[in-house]
Amino acid sequence: MSFLELNLHPSILSNLADQGYQSPTPIQAQAIPVAIQGKDLLGIAKTGSGKTASFVLPLLNELVSKAVSERNRQPNVLVLVPTRELAVQVADVFKVFSRNLKHPVKSMAVFGGVSINPQMKAIFGVDILIATPGRLLDLQRSNAVDLSKVKRLVIDEADKMLNLGFKKEMQEIIALLPKKRQNLLFSATLSDQLAGLNSVVLSNPVVIKIEEKVADVELINLSGYFVSDERKGPLLRHLIRAKKMKQVLVFTSSGIKANKVAAKLIKNGIPALPIHGKKSQSARLAALDKFKSGKLQVLVATDLISRGIDIDALPYVINYELPRSPKDFVHRVGRTGRAKSEGLAISFVNREETHHLKVILKKMKRYIDMIDSETLDF
Ligand code: ADP
Ligand code: MG
């Protein structure tokens, strides 16, 4: 299939060509026509399968033909995401595909952790607002934004957004939106509670679920090491050197641990930075930028970064500690093996974590050949 068959505006098609997007991914091929028709949609497809463009392209397509004067000076499209980093990333995708449109479309990301004033000033006249829930509510409460003109709502990482942690804020936001609107929800992992919450947000949605074909080569290879806590640091350094890892994203279970692991790597001459919720927003964005642009070898992160973040051709992910939930495991390892490039996700497992790994793998329907680190020389 070609993008030409999706009835997209010529200027969007030319932006697609500039970005090297030759043909739509399966979720794009199925979701874009449904979204253009104005229907509600629940799109489920694995990590790295191109869900962002599945909503960015039809939404821009809708706005591209409308002169600025025909639009409201308040957001027409609202995209909700769980983290600040993802808000910035999604806004960048909107910007890339909004280049040289006949009528300019203004998109902007708003998120907490930075001062609110510049956002209040810049928000006027924005067509597409990409937001984390807390800051959006702050802006709304200070009358900087009016959500009553939102015609289309996107919830990316929908399972996370409709989960307990965000429930109150999400209910508050949804109550501020017009009842009649289009809703587009996307997720790689769909949990049981989502089905119930769907009915709150979606009305008669078209459900698109891209099943992985058995014949598909799994792009994310998994491997694991049995290793004691004391030996995790040395094993990490050994693997980085032995496998000549140009870039690796290491996950720990806490910010304190991320700091420690990064400090130890630096001490051993391996460039690393930690990223987690206790870091300032500028440090978070700077570390991620450096990593995304390939100028940083190791990023040590908490699950903050496990959702949605797209790092071009990232070859390695290492679980220094296992995440608590199998879903987080899926999202963590899903930072590699994206957009048709292969990746390896390595898990470090101590004695106490062995059973938990079994649970995770069973849920994922995957198998890992474990290596006993005691047999290695490092
Ligand atoms: P998901 O949200 O499903 O995890 P993303 O939307 O972040 O995935 O896309 C993953 C990567 O694939 C991004 O780098 C994106 O630019 C690239 N990509 C998406 N669609 C296409 C396409 N049709 N052709 C080529 N690359 C694509
Ligand atoms: Mg995504």
The pLDDT tens digits of the residues spanning 100-110 come to 888 889 999 99
Share of the chain above pLDDT 90, in %: 81
Same domain, 204 and 268: no
**Last residue of one domain, picked from the residues 182, 209, 236:** 209
Pocket test for ligand 1, best of 25, 46, 154 (most atoms within 8 A of CB): 25
At 24, the pLDDT band (50, 70, 90 cuts) reads very high
Question: Which CATH number does the domain housing residue 342 bear?
Answer: 3.40.50.300
Please list, in sequence order, all residues whose beta carbon lies within 8 angstroms of the beta carbon of residue 256, skipping any fewer than 6 positions away: none
Provide the Cα torsion 113, 119, 120, 125; round to 10°: -150
Q: 25 in ligand 1 pocket by Cβ < 6 Å?
A: yes
Give the ligand with the smallest distance to the CA of 28. Answer: 1
The span from the CA of 48 to the CA of 155, in Å, is 17
Of the listed ranges 17-26, 131-140, 191-200, 283-292, the least confidently predicted one is: 191-200
The span from the CA of 316 to the CA of 337, in Å, is 9
CA-to-CA dists, residue 104 to 13, 68, 210, 232, angstroms: 16, 7, 33, 51
Which of the pair, 262 or 63, is modelled with greater confidence?
262
Same domain, 135 and 191: yes
Q: 90 in ligand 1 pocket by Cβ < 6 Å?
A: no
Predicted local distance difference test score (pLDDT) of residue 215:
47
- The residue nearest atom 12 of ligand 1, judged by CA position, is 339
Same domain, 341 and 324: yes
Pairing of strands 220-226, 206-209: unpaired
Whether 149 has a pLDDT exceeding 50, the answer reads yes
Same domain, 305 and 185: no
**Last residue of one domain, picked from the residues 184, 209, 234:** 209
Pocket test for ligand 1, best of 23, 49, 189 (most atoms within 8 A of CB): 49
Burial pattern 148-181, b for ≥16 Cβ within 10 A else e, equals ebbbbbbbbbbbbbbbeebeebbeebbeebeeeb
Give the ligand with the smallest distance to the CA of 339. Answer: 1
Same domain, 127 and 53: yes
Same domain, 309 and 185: no
Whether 201 has a pLDDT exceeding 80, the answer reads yes
264: domain range? 214-375
Residues 336 and 343: beta-carbon distance below 8 Å: yes
Same domain, 220 and 319: yes
Of the listed ranges 69-78, 81-90, 229-238, the least confidently predicted one is: 69-78
Q: 310 in ligand 1 pocket by Cβ < 6 Å?
A: yes
Which of the pair, 366 or 261, is modelled with greater confidence?
261
Span 325-354, mean pLDDT? 92
Residues 319 and 332: beta-carbon distance below 8 Å: yes
Provide the Cα torsion 89, 128, 23, 221; round to 10°: 30
Q: 47 in ligand 1 pocket by Cβ < 6 Å?
A: yes
At 199, the pLDDT band (50, 70, 90 cuts) reads low
Predicted local distance difference test score (pLDDT) of residue 213:
63
Pairing of strands 128-131, 41-44: unpaired
- Mean per-residue pLDDT over the chain, rounded: 92
At 359, the pLDDT band (50, 70, 90 cuts) reads very high
Same domain, 186 and 276: no
Span 46-69, mean pLDDT? 90
Span 151-158, mean pLDDT? 96
At 229, the pLDDT band (50, 70, 90 cuts) reads very high
Whether 280 has a pLDDT exceeding 70, the answer reads yes
Predicted local distance difference test score (pLDDT) of residue 364:
85
Give the ligand with the smallest distance to the CA of 86. Answer: 2
- Most confident by average pLDDT, 200-209, 287-296, 336-345: 287-296
Whether 365 has a pLDDT exceeding 90, the answer reads no
Structurally, the chain folds into a number of domains equal to: 2
Same domain, 182 and 264: no
Q: 48 in ligand 1 pocket by Cβ < 6 Å?
A: yes
- Ligand 1 nearest atom to the CA of residue 156, by list position: 2
At 204, the pLDDT band (50, 70, 90 cuts) reads confident
The span from the CA of 79 to the CA of 65, in Å, is 20
Pocket test for ligand 1, best of 46, 47, 52 (most atoms within 8 A of CB): 52
Same domain, 295 and 371: yes
Burial pattern 134-143, b for ≥16 Cβ within 10 A else e, equals ebbbbbbeee
Task: Give all strands (DSSP E) within the chain, no chain letters.
Answer: 41-44, 77-80, 107-110, 128-131, 152-155, 182-187, 206-209, 220-226, 248-251, 272-275, 298-301, 316-319, 343-349, 370-372
pLDDT in tens, 115-126: 999 999 999 999
**Last residue of one domain, picked from the residues 151, 180, 209:** 209
- Ligand 1 nearest atom to the CA of residue 27, by list position: 3
Whether 334 has a pLDDT exceeding 80, the answer reads yes
Same domain, 200 and 296: no
Whether 74 has a pLDDT exceeding 60, the answer reads yes
Span 256-280, mean pLDDT? 97
Same domain, 256 and 133: no
- The residue nearest atom 5 of ligand 1, judged by CA position, is 50
Span 346-372, mean pLDDT? 92
At 212, the pLDDT band (50, 70, 90 cuts) reads confident
Predicted local distance difference test score (pLDDT) of residue 191:
63
Q: 58 in ligand 1 pocket by Cβ < 6 Å?
A: no
Tokens 């500690």 sit at which residue? Answer: 321
Give the ligand with the smallest distance to the CA of 331. Answer: 1
Span 185-199, mean pLDDT? 71
